[in-house]
Copies of this chain bind each other. A is one copy, B any other.
């Protein structure tokens, strides 16, 4: 509760001198420094960060927006980004945007209200106009927002290619493709278009199933799988994000469809859940830690006044062959 002026009074100095001791700036004699330090410990003085923040107009807090941290991809991303931001000296404010009301907008507004210094958004909601109005530090994860806003993403085109080639290599003739909604402008569409392009080029039939863009819950995924299996399956290959792939695999097992003999499965993302199945999934893995590292670096630059317009960071994906495409 003691203020800098209390300390100053106790040490018989001016508040400016105490401030200098606090920040190790300017000239302070050894003698007065000690006097002040004693006074500080005596009064149990702890500087009020709020006052500092007001003066400096910054809080050292970065908001991280994701649809839902309960989703493994975002959980891992948030885990990494928090860690990265921490090394930069920033704290992480977390916002899950899948909730009633427009939490996304509200969090963006925190930029204007000086509550956070920057925003990293991994959210794929529909209205992009709001972002274009804001000329503050924003970094987008896997989403095009505006020319001013740098994007961090993986090379989805390569991702689609790797998946397609693996399924082709394993002899598939007709595949089921779970793809994201085209309502959202995101680099991830490249994976879908590239996957389908290559498949078609090789004369392989592709059945596309468009997933809703804002659903990440178990119920939805179960519904999708049920939906798929309600009609006779005429495919020998499947490509979809982790949780869809896992659930497809499980349903196949329940129906005594052997994997990979009868159906091959390739999962996209490669979060830790793909390590929880038996057989282990073949995955196209996103380097989530690198996505986080790049996002943190970019936001740090933006917060410190550097500009990086039109910037797009593309990271490499990797195919990890498991036992759902080949019998190793």
Which one, B48, B78, B277, contacts A250 given CB within 8 A?
A: B277
A76 to B48, CA, bound (A): 33
Q: Within residues 18 to 54 of chain A, which ones have a CB less than 8 A from any CB in chain B?
A: 46-51, 53-54
Contact A83–B96 (Cβ < 8 Å): yes
Which one, B68, B76, B243, contacts A79 given CB within 8 A?
A: B68
Which one, B83, B95, B115, contacts A92 given CB within 8 A?
A: B95
- A94 (CB) vs chain B CBs: closest residue: B94
Copies of chain A in the complex: 2
Q: Please give the distance in Å from A64's CB to the nearest CB on chain B.
A: 8
A253 to B112, CA, bound (A): 55
Which one, B54, B69, B218, B250, contacts A82 given CB within 8 A?
A: B69
In this assembly, does A254 line the interface, its C-beta being within 8 Å of a C-beta of chain B? yes
A254 to B277, CA, bound (A): 11
A25 to B307, CA, bound (A): 41
Contact B276–A254 (Cβ < 8 Å): no
A215 to B37, CA, bound (A): 40
Contact A79–B69 (Cβ < 8 Å): yes
Which one, B48, B99, B218, contacts A113 given CB within 8 A?
A: B48
- A113 (CB) vs chain B CBs: closest residue: B49
In this assembly, does A13 line the interface, its C-beta being within 8 Å of a C-beta of chain B? no
In this assembly, does A105 line the interface, its C-beta being within 8 Å of a C-beta of chain B? no
Contact B93–A50 (Cβ < 8 Å): no
- Flag A51-68 by CB within 8 Å of B: 1 or 0 each: 101100101010010001
In this assembly, does A197 line the interface, its C-beta being within 8 Å of a C-beta of chain B? no
Q: Please give the distance in Å from A303's CB to the nearest CB on chain B.
A: 15
A218 with B275: in contact, given A54-B54, A59-B50, A92-B95 (CB under 8 Å)?
yes
- A280 (CB) vs chain B CBs: closest residue: B250
Query: 23 pairs across A/B with beta carbons < 8 Å?
Result: A47-B113, A49-B115, A50-B50, A50-B53, A50-B114, A53-B53, A69-B79, A70-B76, A70-B79, A70-B272, A72-B72, A75-B75, A82-B94, A82-B96, A83-B96, A86-B103, A91-B95, A92-B93, A93-B93, A218-B275, A243-B276, A250-B276, A273-B273
Q: Which A residues have a C-beta under 8 Å from some C-beta of B?
A: 46-51, 53-54, 57, 59, 61, 64, 68-70, 72, 75-76, 78-79, 82-83, 86, 91-96, 99, 103, 110, 112-115, 218, 243, 246-247, 249-250, 253-254, 272-273, 275-278
Known: A49-B114, A69-B69; 20 extra A-B contacts, CB below 8 A, are A48-B54, A49-B113, A49-B115, A50-B53, A50-B115, A54-B54, A69-B82, A72-B75, A83-B96, A83-B99, A86-B103, A91-B110, A91-B115, A93-B94, A94-B94, A218-B272, A250-B276, A250-B277, A273-B276, A277-B277
Among all A-B residue pairs, the 9 with the closest Cβ atoms = A250-B278, A70-B79, A49-B113, A94-B94, A75-B75, A50-B54, A46-B112, A253-B278, A50-B114
